[in-house]
Amino acid sequence: MSENLIDLNDISKTYYGAGEPVYALRSISLSVGSGEMLAIMGPSGSGKSTLMNLLGCLDKPDTGSYIFAGQDVMTLDKDQLAYFRNVLIGFVFQNFNLLGRASALENVCLPLIYAGVNSKEREKRGRQMLSLVGLEGREHHLPRQLSGGQQQRVAIARSLVNRPGLLLADEPTGALDTKTSEEIMSLLQRLHREQGLSVAIVTHEPEIALYCQKIIRLSDGQIISREKVANPIQTQVKAG
């Protein structure tokens, strides 16, 4: 098996809608190492979210190959793809996507219900995850009773409760102020370090990208640059 968690080779994705076809991704090749942190940048409409959807097995490319953890994603059936999405990959979004009527703990435990974990074990693991992201004592708060940064921590705890190897975050700090954004990036960096998690982050903000080891830039569906970050930002903000 290659030491890369992800190997995308020459993938393309075209949307056929009402008007002209949209060539959202054109001949993209990309590797993400195990335990690597990657930033994906580029202007609006350049294909960032489309790429995240493919990486997250939410959608399949039209052509090309996608190897995830040694498995050829293109050959997986519906159930296998669902397993990849629900267990092997975690997702975090700009607007947190929490259930408004469910407590922080219930939100975090949700993926464990689908994974068939019993309720006692669910609660135990949910509490562990909340404490890992610095939210001990907030278990029974509803999302609206939490700050934006705390809501994003709940979403991160939920995305990691099944212990996936890959975390995909589409503009995770897009709705947060600068200080809170830095705290969220420090948290992601700590989880990446401590859990050997691979992370791919879409961001518009150069300062956020500098927390990552590698930055790729998309333009018009193509990768126009790849750079290594010599000294990724390492802050030691304490969770909480």
Interface with ligand ATP by CB under 6 A: which residues? 15, 17, 22, 24, 42, 44-50
33 touches which of Mg ion, ligand ATP, none (CB within 5 to 8 A by kind)? none
Question: DSSP per residue over the chain, as a string?
Answer: --SEEEEEEEEEEEE--SSS-EEEEEEEEEEEETT-EEEEE--TTSSHHHHHHHHTTSS--SEEEEEETTEEGGG--HHHHHHIIIIIEEEEETT----TTS-HHHHHHHHHHHTT--HHHHHHHHHHHHHHTT-TT-TT--GGGS-HHHHHHHHHHHHHTT--SEEEEESTTTTS-HHHHHHHHHHHHHHHHHH--EEEEE-S-HHHHTTSSEEEEEETTEEEEEEE-SS-----PPP-
Select from Mg ion, ligand ATP, none the partner in contact with residue 186, using the beta carbon and a kind-dependent cut-off of 5 to 8 Å: none
Site for Mg ion in 11-70 (CB under 5 A): 48-49
**Residue 179 backbone zone (phi > 0: left; psi -120 to 50: alpha; other: beta):** alpha
Q: How far is the CB of 28 from ligand ATP (least distance, A)?
A: 12
- Based on CB atoms, which residue is closest to ligand ATP, 42 or 111? 42
| CB nearer to Mg ion: pick between 41 and 157 | 41
Closest residue to Mg ion: CB criterion: 49
Residues that contact Mg ion, how many (by CB under 5 A):
2
Nearest approach in angstroms of CB 204 to ligand ATP is 7
In the complex, least distance from residue 21 CB atom to ligand ATP, rounded to whole angstroms: 9
Q: How far is the CB of 219 from ligand ATP (least distance, A)?
A: 10
- List the single partner that 164 binds among Mg ion, ligand ATP, none, CB under 5 to 8 Å by kind: none
Pattern 155-184, Mg ion, x by CB under 5 A: ------------------------------
CB of 200 to ligand ATP, least distance (A): 13
Q: Which residues here bind Mg ion, judged by CB under 5 A?
A: 48-49
